[in-house]
Structure 1
């Protein structure tokens, strides 16, 4: 694995860890806010965790995957492959 891919992989893993921590903190924050405004039911807690955490994970994870693809050189390989097939 070339050095730029190793660096990109390390950056991607670090980003995923940060995204998970951020999603967890925001989920806890949302639950604390909802708790301060009224009573929480079990289903409300599950829906809040699912909605907040999964939305952050999906949105930020897709951006992280796009940046990983660019940094690791995968985008260049696809561009090079399409140049050769069109000639």
Structure 2
């Protein structure tokens, strides 16, 4: 197993610090808005926004997999060498 270099350790520390700061910020905002009441229209908007975001995300992922399997991506990459199908 390779050892980590100084740059990789610094990158990991910076990313961990950002993760911790994001968690602290999210907790602070969550607690600051704890006494705000959301009415029925707010819950409906939240539900519809979540549903349609998931619908668009799943649809785009399905189109990506369909495009990859149907061979349309090969024509868009002129630098890829013509190779046979991968060995299974």
Q: Which has the larger radius of gyration?
A: 2
Q: Larger % of helix: which?
A: 1
Whose RCO is larger (CA < 8 A, sep 6+)? 1
- How would you bin the TM-score normalised by the shorter chain? 0.3 to 0.5
TM-score (norm 1): 0.39
